[in-house]
Amino acid sequence: MKLVAIAAAGVLLATLTIAYQQRPAQNPIKPALTDTMKANIYADNWFMLYINGKPVAVDPIDFLPHNVVSIDLLPEYPMTIAVLAKDNADPKTGCEYGDHIGDAGFILKFADGTTTNASWKAKSFFTGPLNGDTQNPRVSHLPLPANWFAKDFDDSAWKNAKEYSEQEVGPKKTFYDFDFGGAKFIWTDDIALDNTVIFRTKIDKPGWRARWTTKPDLDVSKSPNE
Ligand SMILES: [Ca+2]
Ligand SMILES: [Ca+2]
């Protein structure tokens, strides 16, 4: 009888030990919706936004220039922002609606104060019609560099973006329904002929620490290929 009791106590102790060893070191803290911030983005005509190497937003309307995309982001710093932006331009002629040269523009503001301005890097990968010649339109294309959206992509040789006024870009009413205060419209040096542009910047917040302790188990950085 005594032996049975000792054996039972042993099993109980082993069970408790395993349970103790399997519990997490500390209760994980998950991010909450209150940790997110609003991000307002506007592109003439289309954009794709990456943050810290992950795709986070795509303009749902490809050629309508005046829609605003407003989303919630979970900020993590340092924050590398990379944007692929496209003007509405025929890849073969650089024109829109036949022989019209359309102009472009991009602007964003995050609730943490991040805004577009001339400190961002910008590089064009599709220009045309060269010299503005719509009668005999020729274009220039460069392949997008691999991993242009990655945190460690080297954009140090790229030029800075150029700022444009609201009058030059001409946003419509919807734009004014959202907070873009302090943000500047940007593009390359040629807002009419450069049609596909990548913008990049990095936001540092020294001393910032996440309130949450969990990390994603999934990896969306290779989407849509994986
Ligand atoms: Ca254009
Ligand atoms: Ca346009």
Residue 67 domain-assigned?
Answer: yes
Q: Structural domain of residue 172, as residue ranges?
A: 33-203
Residue 9 domain-assigned?
Answer: no
Residue 1: pLDDT over 60: no
Residue 148 domain-assigned?
Answer: yes
pTM (two decimals): 0.87
Least confident of 46-50, 65-69, 77-81: 65-69
What mean pLDDT comes out for the span 19-30? 71
pLDDT in tens, 184-193: 999 999 999 9
Residue 98 domain-assigned?
Answer: yes
CA of 88 to the centre of ligand 2 (A): 5
Q: Is the bond preceding 137 in cis, omega lying within 30 degrees of 0?
A: no
Other C-beta atoms closer than 10 Å to the C-beta of 57 total 18
Q: What is the predicted pLDDT for the residue at 65? A: 77
Higher per-residue confidence, 19 vs 31: 31
pLDDT in tens, 143-160: 999 999 999 999 999 999
CA of 96 to the centre of ligand 2 (A): 8
Residue 61: pLDDT over 90: yes
The closest ligand to the CA of 105 turns out to be 2
- What is the Cα Rg of the chain in Å? 25
Residue 132 domain-assigned?
Answer: yes
Compute the distance between CA of residue 80 and CA of residue 82 in angstroms, rounded to an integer. 7
Please provide the average confidence, as pLDDT, over all residues in the chain.
92
What mean pLDDT comes out for the span 128-139? 98
The closest ligand to the CA of 65 turns out to be 2
Q: What is the predicted pLDDT for the residue at 75? A: 96
* CA 198 to centroid of chain Cα atoms: 11
Neighbours of ion ligand 2 (CB under 5 A): 44-45, 65, 87-88, 102
Residue 20 domain-assigned?
Answer: no
Compute the distance between CA of residue 76 and CA of residue 147 in angstroms, rounded to an integer. 20
Residue 138: pLDDT over 80: yes
> With bands split at pLDDT 50, 70 and 90, how would you rate the model's confidence at 82?
very high
Q: Which residues lie closer than 8 Å to 226 by C-beta, 6 or more apart?
A: 219
What mean pLDDT comes out for the span 82-106? 97
Residue 215 domain-assigned?
Answer: no
> With bands split at pLDDT 50, 70 and 90, how would you rate the model's confidence at 17?
low
Residue 5 domain-assigned?
Answer: no
> With bands split at pLDDT 50, 70 and 90, how would you rate the model's confidence at 63?
confident
Residue 147, SS3 per DSSP:
coil
Question: Total structural domains in the chain?
Answer: 1
What mean pLDDT comes out for the span 98-120? 97
CA of 65 to the centre of ligand 2 (A): 6
Least confident of 4-8, 56-60, 106-110: 4-8
- Here the CATH number for the domain that contains residue 42 is 2.60.120
